Structure 1
Amino acid sequence: MRTSRFAAATALLALAVASCGGAPQAGKGGGSAAFEITKDTAPAKGPVDSVTWSLYAEPQSLDYAYAFDYHPNTVLANVCEQLMRVTPDLKVEPGLAGAAANPDPKRWVYTIRDGVKFHDGSTLTADDVVASMRRHMDPKVGSYWVSVYRNVDKVEKTGPMEVTVHLKEPDQLFNESMGTSAGTIESAAWLAKEGYGTPDVGVNCTGPFSLESWQKGQSLNFKKFADYWDASLMPKVNTLKMVFIPDPAARVNALLAGEVDGGYLLPPPGFPKLRTAGSGTLYFGPNTTAVNLIPTNLKGTLGDVKVRKALSMALDRDGIIKAASGGAGTPAKAPGALGAWGIAPEAAKGYYDKLPALTQDIPGAKKLIEEAGATGKKVVIATSTLSPDISVIANAVQSAGQAIGLQVELKAVAPEAYTALFSDPKAREGIDLVMTIWYDNTPDPLEFYGILETGDFSNYGGYSNPEYDALVHEANAQADPAARAATVAKLQEIAVRDVVWIPLYEPPHNMFMNKRLTGAPTSISQLVYPWAALLGSAG
């Protein structure tokens, strides 16, 4: 369930893991449990013929313009590639563009790699790059990544293998975003096919795996692409099958039985069994994710900042962490995750420490509701069986709201429709609050805080603040990461003050992998990096 400029459903539990991990992370407060971050799994020692991987849902499309959630991005990370590449350690490096230059503040110039092949055998050209990028700017396409291109004036071919992006104003985040689906490059000829991205037509990209078949309702099937250009990421797996297992218990049981070899984003109720499984290991990795409540209707009850603040004050975050994520997580102080500050991690901690702790205060919250004249007013929150943590959190919000005088109603949303809440305004009609697990794809916190600018696609509640908007533009013009981080810190303070989103907690990423395998990254980079290309034999 994406719920990030890109977002989704996830949850986690404590586990001390071997391998080359980081230091244990102690939770703050009674609801948290100690867990250890494993930054990488051991490199693969040899090839394996086939791997079966689990997805919690079937993608609605493999069109990169709509890859706005965990499950489609988990797939496309291995099939399609971007101009830039976000690595497992959350750094941005050249991808299909061998070089990126910023000769002046309003231009990004990309030199395209020679000799790169699409899966149908055709050769990558600058024309493919231009066609792929321009789709995000086409209203008829309706790209979910249109906000990345909001400052783009035009994209043009300026050399045999060169593409120049002309900007309306400086945009440092644009280049970093070229490591996401916003920078995916597809064959221009394939894009012209009717039904592109569907089970019948599929996709034709340059990644280490090619799509062989899509068995609707069952699986996606891939094979190693023998002509892949990057020798360092040539797959050790010959055939890869991704199966759709929406039922959380069934997914856990399939992993325990060895019917599937691995999976990301596993359900918290299954963690105790996965921790002690003889078939494999449950890992926790670096994340750029925070779990939040998004006020999606600022014209209703939640339009009063006092009401939003009161609801935030009423929440038992430690209890939510225990019930929703098996105890792994830290109560959040801001809607943007601390782990998403890769451009200035040390400074970020100082900025974050200055924010007020979000502690439960029922009497104080009830008083605010009375001051706002909101006693008895209705708030509707979405709930779904898509993931157990959604309903757990929705129930917790209902209980907290009622304790301070609000009338909180639950509105059930079908699992397959939950993602639409973050892409279709009509799907949000009649809903005031949505739970999200929101992740950043880049190591830049401006990726998150930029979406709260007036008019942004992902500014779901329609928050508007001229002071905030000016700071977004100021940050995006600052090429120096430290200066940009300092400006984003001001955005963070305003977002917390105005309770634009209601922070809950920050979880680690999670993955289970069969003991016969190793190599897959544990971090959230698996959404943009070809993680399956690293898989191989553990022995």
Structure 2
Amino acid sequence: MTSPFRKARGRIAAGVAGTLVAALALAGCSSSSSPNTSATPDAVKITANTAAPSGDIDSVTWAVYAEPLSLDYAYAFDYPDNQVLANVCESLLRLNPDWTLSPSLATSFEHPKPNVWVYNLRQGVKFHDGTPMTAADVVASMKRHMDPAVGSSWADVYKFVTSITQTGPSQVTVTESQPDSQFNLMMGSAPGVVESAAYLKKAGKNYGNSTGLVDCTGPYKIDSWTSGQSIQLSRDDAYWDKDLMAKNKTFKFVFLQDATARVNALKSGAVDGSFMVPTEAISQLQNTSAGNLYFGLNTAVNSLIISNLKGALGDLKVRQAIMAALDRQGMTKAATGGVGQVSNALTTESVWSGASAETTKRAFADLKTYPLNLDKAKQLVKEAGAEGKTVTIATAPIGNDFNIVSQGTAAALQSIGMKAKIVTVTPAQYSALFSDPTARKGIDLFYTNWYLSSPDPLEMYAILQTGQFSNYADWSDPTYDKIVNQAIKTQDPEARAVLSAQAQKITNEQLPWLPLAAGPMTMFLGKKITGASPSVAFLYYPWAATIGKR
């Protein structure tokens, strides 16, 4: 659903000086008022699916930029976790590469009352240990998100749920305290995962870690998890969906945190593929004979999260000044390898699937553009009385884009009469910023690549309501809350999209987060394999099963 963009740890020490020089240039030395927008480069061709395999292949080795923190679906909140979990565990619904929902462990659902969802379960499905999936397993799996002792990262999805009950041999009914248009849309991602109730009890506190593993219903089962090195999967020959039977016998995820090492492994053929290639290596991977680089559908926006509104950033004029001081076009080009485009919204058009073309167009066309204008930015800072005040930016040695954004933002602040302090933390500490309030103490800004997990922009705007878990700075706007509450209760997708557009416009003007850029998902496939889609749906769709012999 949401995540820091925890890319591989790069060779930071060797690149800091050059990055700083580039960032200072990106901050802008001009008071130009030219529009700060860009178009997706012509060289970026979005691919829906790669060519179908010519046959099965014995094994595939896949590079991941970091080891999963957990394979417990209640905590799977990041790219490494979910790209593994998507292949071994399944949800009630399936989120497809084109970002549509279709039946999965539930063959259908009913919506008899505005606050009631009924799921009719697929029969004949077995967990990897051979035991049948039952309605009791579904109830137990869903209820974990509501258990304070579990502390699910997805608890907000269940915030209106009052009961989850078995209402038939293969039926589960969810009742809510009010209508919630978002609940069913999230059943294609981690909140809808089904695990064996018996296995949850057996594994206990070790569930989802390298010792306890998982026992779900996907096309693969986990053979082993060697901490710090790899996770090995094998095909489940008893898998229920014959159309998605894995086209490879074994699939191995290897953890390559160093960006250079990961790129070299792809170019040499030591690994067969990877998602989210280092942006600084895009040109290399486009011009190698070792395989092909693809660009696919994405739902993520690069933003600066404001985590403290009690300091200088509590004044809207200061937030507006930062937006006017950032050369977002130059920053985007440098940080995304030339494949991104400036964004003035916190969502991408790809998630507005329930909206008409006109509503979607208006939702983005009506936004403030924040062109580069240092003179205006300096004036705003002066009006706010913020000259000389310090903004603390958290960063980590994770990827080139982290350096560019943090250094560029610091330089922009300095160019308009403010001070900037960059605090560098470990990748693990950076991840904690998204879940632990104590980790954010003293931090004003930090960078994210925030993806959505459902085909609806309201998922993004609901998290910025007053008091929500991911509203890190406790931003509050009564008008905004009222609009979002109304949208949550609105079942018609088009009517809901109109309300979401109003929420999007408010965040664009009030800037609780500072949007920077959006770009396509990247995927590299070595010359031996084909079949996978480069869509960000790899977080929830069993994509590894589609890979076979080229």
Structure 1 length-normalised TM: 0.94
Query: In the TM superposition, what is the alpha-carbon distance from 1:358 to its structure 2 partner?
Result: 2.3
Tell me how far 1:290 sits from its aligned partner: 0.8
Deviation at 1:460, TM superposition (A): 1.2
Alignment length, in residue pairs? Answer: 520
Which residue of the partner structure matches residue 17 of structure 1? none
1:263-342 correspondence to structure 2 within 5 Å: 263-342=274-353
User: Matches of residues 331-410 of structure 1 in structure 2 within 5 Å?
Assistant: 331-344=342-355, 346=357, 347-410=359-422
Kept in 2, the 8 Å contact 1:386–1:418? The answer is no
- Counterpart in the other structure of 1:227: 238
Aligned partner (choices 420, 423, 448) of residue 411 of structure 1:
423
Distance 1:535 1:345, change over 3 A: farther
Provide closer, same or farther for how the CA distance between residues 486 and 31 of structure 1 changes in structure 2, counting only shifts above 3 A: closer
Give the corresponding residue for 1:138: 147
Aligned to 2:20: none
User: 1:420 corresponds to which residue?
Assistant: 432
Aligned equivalent of 1:158, options 167, 171, 180: 167
Whether 2:186 is the aligned partner of 1:183: answer no
1:61 CA drift (Å): 1.2
1:247 aligned to which of 258, 266, 269: 258
Trace 1:165-176 onto structure 2 (pairs within 5 A): 165-176=174-185
Q: Which letter maps to 2:165? A: E
Partner Cα separation in structure 2 for residue 199 and residue 45 of structure 1: 34
- Cα distance in 1, alignment partners of residues 522 and 139 from structure 2: 36
Give the drift of 1:340. Answer: 2.0
Preserved contact between residue 6 and residue 440 of structure 1 (Cα < 8 Å): no
Where structure 2 has 5 or more consecutive residues not aligned to the other structure, the ranges are: 9-35
**Distance in 2 (alpha carbons) for counterparts of 1:446 and 1:118:** 33
Identify the range of structure 1 (177-186 vs 338-347) with the bigger mean alpha-carbon deviation: 338-347
Q: Counterpart amino acid of 1:196?
A: Y
Equivalent position SS for 2:467? coil
Rounded to whole Å, the distance in 2 between the matches of 1:54 and 1:251 is 7
Cα shift at 1:321: 1.2
1:201-255 deviation per Cα after TM superposition (whole angstroms, max 9, x unaligned): 1001100010110001000000001111111100011000000000001000000
Do the aligned residues in 2 keep the contact of 1:289 with 1:340 (CA within 8 Å)?
no
- Residues 320/355 of structure 1: CA separation in 2 closer, same or farther (3 Å cut): same
- Equivalent in the alignment of 1:446: 458
Distance in 2 separating the partners of 1:504 and 1:408: 18
Q: In the aligned structure 2, how far is the partner of 1:5 from the partner of 1:48?
A: 33
Q: CA deviation at 1:511?
A: 0.4
Residue identity matched to 2:535: S
Matched, 1:67 2:76: yes
Alpha-carbon distance change, 410 to 35 in structure 1, aligned in 2, over 3 angstroms = same
1:417-445 per-residue CA deviation (whole Å, 9 max, x = no partner) reads 32221122222111110100011111101
Alignment of 1:237 with 2:248, yes or no, is yes
Structure 1 partner of 2:506: 494
Q: CA deviation at 1:416?
A: 2.7
1:149-194 deviation line (CA, Å, top 9, x unaligned): 1111121111111111111111111001011101111111111223
3-state DSSP class of the match of 1:454?
Answer: coil
**In structure 1, what is the Cα distance between the partners aligned to 2:295 and 2:85?**
22
Q: 28-37 vs 372-381, which deviates more?
A: 28-37
Q: Give how far 1:342 is off.
A: 1.9
SS of structure 1 residue aligned to 2:183: helix
SS at match of 2:74: helix
Q: Please say which of residues 33-42 and 270-279 is displaced more in the overlay.
A: 33-42
Q: Residue 501 of structure 2 aligns to which amino acid in structure 1? A: A
CA distance in 1, matches of 2:6, 2:360: 25
Partners of 1:401 and 1:211 in 2: CA distance = 48
**Alpha-carbon distance change, 126 to 184 in structure 1, aligned in 2, over 3 angstroms:** same
User: Counterpart in 1 of 2:5?
Assistant: 8
After superposition, the Cα gap between the structure-2 partners of 1:30 and 1:132, relative to the gap in structure 1 and judged at 3 Å, is closer
C-alpha contact (below 8 Å) 1:31/1:320 kept by paired residues? no
1:258 equivalenced with 2:255 (yes/no):
no
Query: d(CA) in 2 for partners of 1:31 and 1:50?
Result: 35
Is the CA contact 2:7–2:65 (under 8 Å) kept in the aligned structure 1?
A: no
Matched with 1:115 is 124
Q: CA deviation at 1:463?
A: 1.2
Query: 1:119 & 1:426 partners in 2: Cα distance?
Result: 39
C-alpha distance after superposition, 1:432-484 (max 9, x if no partner): 10100011111101111111111111111111122111111211222211111
Matches of 2:469 and 2:93 in 1, distance apart?
23
Query: 1:85 and 1:32 mapped to 2: Cα distance?
Result: 32
1:92-148 CA-to-partner distances (Å, cap 9, x unmatched) read 111111111111101001111111110111110111111111111111111111111
Residue 213 of structure 1 pairs with residue 224 of structure 2? yes
Give the conservation status (yes or no) of the 8 Å contact 2:6–2:427.
no
Residue 101 of structure 1 corresponds to 110
- Summarize deviations over 1:279-322 as a string: whole Å, max 9, x none: 10011011111110010111222111111111111110111112
Cα distance between partner residues in 1 of 2:156 and 2:300: 20
Provide the rounded CA distance (Å) in 1 between the counterparts of 2:421 and 2:43. Answer: 34
Contact 2:244/2:546 (8 A) holds in 1: yes
SS in 1 for 2:188: coil
Q: In structure 1, what is the equivalent of residue 12 of structure 2? A: none
Runs of at least 5 residues in structure 1 that lack an aligned partner in the other structure: 12-26
Picking from 459, 470, 474, the partner of 2:486 is 474
Q: Quick one: structure 1 residues 519 and 425, their matched pair in 2 at CA, closer, same or farther if it must change by over 3 Å?
A: same
1:53 aligns with 2:65: no
Distance (whole Å) between structure 2 residues aligned to residue 345 and residue 87 of structure 1: 20
Instruction: Work out the CA distance in 2 between the residues paired with 1:90 and 1:494.
Output: 26
- Name the SS for the 1:328 alignment partner: coil
Q: State how far apart, in whole Å, the 2-side matches of 1:68 and 1:378 are.
A: 31
Moved more, 467-476 or 81-90: 467-476
Tell me which amino acid in the other structure corresponds to 1:326: G
- Identical positions, percent: 47
Q: Distance in 2 between matches of 1:406 and 1:159?
A: 63
Whichever residue aligns with residue 87 of structure 1, its letter is: N
Q: Which amino acid aligns with 1:494?
A: I
Cα distance between partner residues in 1 of 2:66 and 2:6: 11
The CA RMSD over aligned residues, in Å, is 1.5
What are the Cα deviations for residues 353-384 of structure 1, in whole angstroms up to 9, with x where unaligned?
12122211111111111111111111111111
Q: 1:433 — aligned with what?
A: 445
- CA shift for structure 1 position 344: 1.9
